[in-house]
């Protein structure tokens, strides 16, 4: 199913360059408005949230104009986490939710994510229909039917109050010192506020956005600064969110960083023990470590793998009736609580494990021994298709033959950046490095 604008997580690109221009945002707004207002009736509403990028203002205004032109009433939330948009789309009985964010990407990028009235991200079929409207023509409404725009001032507060309800009532966070790195992004208010109101001693960082510093040397993709802060302050835990707060990385009291696989293993085991892990199954992406699969298998649980991208993890969860999933990168999806990855609510679940067990983070994030895994990225120019080059195909075939029965190989093009990702797993680390480096060298020559 070919799509011209949408990738694995909405429309994304460099701000003020195609496709992330005000012109296309205007067309997307009009197309989405027409798609969700097919009955022609008035009173339809859409909520729009955003992160802290400077370009969000431009894109928000263009989207709003397009939506209003097709009769949609727009409710602007201001900076709010992506999962907050999913929650408020349902809570405010909106027909559509939109998040303006490029997640963990630098401030020079931006993106547009769409949510249906159920709070879940749109599927591929809906995105194809919206693209067809963008490339075609959209009927605009009569002057008296133009939509109205309203600022919702308590959007962050509503989300914070909901997030707090997901923390088990067996105890508050009194006595815990928490470093929270908000990546200068969408959760710069919500996350420290929720943790403080639950009783934690909060050390906030990455909470002073200026429009240009989102994800810059901070957040889940750059956890080193938070790790240093944990050690310097003698904190019990470090929590790193990304720019739109739909993913989380945990840091233990010694400053060691844990990935999403260990987090998912902890939750899966706890939920299974409590009889609340649906069908005894965790859904993760193809990137998750083989050690996670072995850990679950040893407990009589099952790992289902989905394509990379939290929306595909969620789609598989909904298809199978599963309630826990996520990605190694830190997307933790708990459909009992949220319709997408939610870094803050996931962190609260981890804190609940700490308060329940009395165990330090360093023990809780060491659930299994990882199989050696190596991931390298190769950047390429737009329009180039390095994976189609014969020498690259030959290098991949040779690597697969060498790893057969001894490991796992995954080659893919990123859906959010112009990158080829090369990942291998093998108990033999020398072999693993050789096959990854060989493929990377072939791709670099091709680009």
Q: Which residues pair with 302 in a beta bridge?
A: 281
Residues of the chain with pLDDT > 70, as a percent, come to 97
Farthest-apart Cα atoms in the chain, separation: 70
Q: What tens digit of pLDDT does each residue of 218-265 get?
A: 999 999 999 999 999 999 999 999 999 999 999 999 999 998 999 999
Helices (H), 136-252: 155-165, 190-197, 224-233
pLDDT at 169 over 80: no
pLDDT digits (tens, 9 = 90+) for 302-311: 999 999 888 8
Using a 10 angstrom Cβ sphere, with 0-12 exposed, 13-18 middle and 19 or more buried, the burial of residue 38 is: exposed
Angstrom distance (rounded) from CA 159 to CA 156 = 5
Known active-site residue 101: no
CATH fold match for the domains 6-153 and 373-446: no
CATH of domain 158-255: 3.40.120.10
Given 55, 103, 220, 329, the catalytic residue: 103
> Is the domain defined by 6-153 classed in CATH 3.40.50.720?
no
CATH 3.40.605.10 fits 260-342, yes or no: no
How far, in Å, CA of 405 to CA of 402, rounded? 9
Three-class DSSP category at 148: coil
pLDDT, tens only, 29-85: 999 999 988 666 667 999 999 999 999 999 999 999 999 999 999 999 999 999 999
Q: What is the DSSP letter of 140?
A: P
Angle at 250 between CA 9 and CA 55, to 5 degrees: 40
Residue-wise pLDDT tens digits, 120-158: 999 888 999 999 999 998 999 999 999 999 999 999 999
Please, what is the Cα angle at 107 between 103 and 108, to 5 degrees? 115
Q: Label the pairing between strands 281-285 and 373-379.
A: unpaired
The answer to whether 55 and 159 are in contact (CB under 8 A) is: no
> From CA 333, how far away is CA 339, in angstroms rounded?
7
Both tokens of 39, joined, read 């009955």
CATH topology (fold) of 373-446 = TATA-Binding Protein (3.30.310)
Domain boundaries, the chain: 6-153, 158-255, 260-342, 373-446
């Amino acid at each position: 199913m070919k799509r011209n604008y949408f990738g694995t997580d909405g429309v994304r690109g460099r701000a003020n360059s195609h496709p992330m221009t005000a012109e296309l945002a205007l067309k997307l707004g009009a197309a989405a408005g027409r798609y969700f207002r097919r009955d022609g009736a008035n009173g339809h509403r859409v909520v729009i949230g955003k992160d802290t990028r400077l370009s969000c203002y431009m894109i928000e205004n263009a989207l709003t104009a397009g939506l209003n032109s097709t009769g949609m009433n727009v409710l602007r939330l201001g900076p709010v986490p992506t999962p907050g948009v999913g929650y408020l789309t349902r809570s405010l009985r909106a027909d559509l939710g939109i998040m303006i964010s490029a997640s963990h990407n630098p401030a020079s990028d931006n993106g547009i994510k769409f949510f249906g009235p159920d709070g879940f991200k749109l599927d591929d079929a809906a995105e194809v229909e919206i693209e067809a409207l963008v490339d075609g023509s959209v009927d605009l409404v009569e002057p008296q039917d133009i939509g109205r725009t309203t600022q919702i001032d308590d959007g962050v507060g509503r989300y914070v109050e909901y997030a707090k309800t997901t923390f088990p009532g067996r105890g508050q966070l009194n006595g815990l010192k928490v470093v929270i790195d908000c990546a200068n992004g969408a959760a710069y208010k919500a996350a420290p506020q929720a943790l403080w109101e639950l009783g934690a001693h909060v050390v906030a960082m990455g909470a002073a956005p200026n429009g240009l510093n989102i994800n810059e040397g901070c957040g889940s993709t750059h956890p080193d600064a938070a790790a240093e802060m944990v050690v310097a302050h003698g904190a019990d835990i470090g929590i790193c969110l990304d720019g739109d707060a739909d993913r989380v990385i945990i840091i233990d009291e010694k400053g060691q960083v844990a990935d999403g696989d260990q987090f998912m293993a902890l939750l899966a085991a706890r939920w299974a023990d409590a009889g609340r892990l649906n069908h005894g199954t965790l859904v993760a992406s193809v990137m998750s470590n083989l050690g996670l699969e072995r850990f679950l298998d040893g407990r009589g649980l099952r790992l289902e793998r989905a394509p990379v991208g939290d929306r595909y993890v969620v789609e598989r969860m909904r298809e199978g009736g599963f309630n826990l999933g996520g990605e190694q990168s830190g997307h933790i999806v708990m459909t009992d609580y949220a319709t997408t990855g939610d870094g803050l609510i996931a962190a609260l679940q981890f804190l609940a494990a700490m308060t329940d067990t009395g165990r330090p983070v360093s023990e809780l994030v060491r659930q299994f021994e990882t199989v050696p895994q190596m991931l390298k990225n190769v950047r390429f120019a737009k329009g180039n298709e390095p994976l189609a080059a014969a020498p690259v195909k030959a290098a991949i075939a040779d690597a697969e033959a060498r790893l057969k029965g001894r490991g796992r190989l995954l080659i893919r093009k990123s859906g959010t950046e112009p990158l080829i990702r090369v990942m291998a797993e093998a108990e033999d680390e020398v072999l693993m490095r050789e096959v990854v480096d060989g493929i990377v060298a072939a791709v670099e020559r091709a680009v």
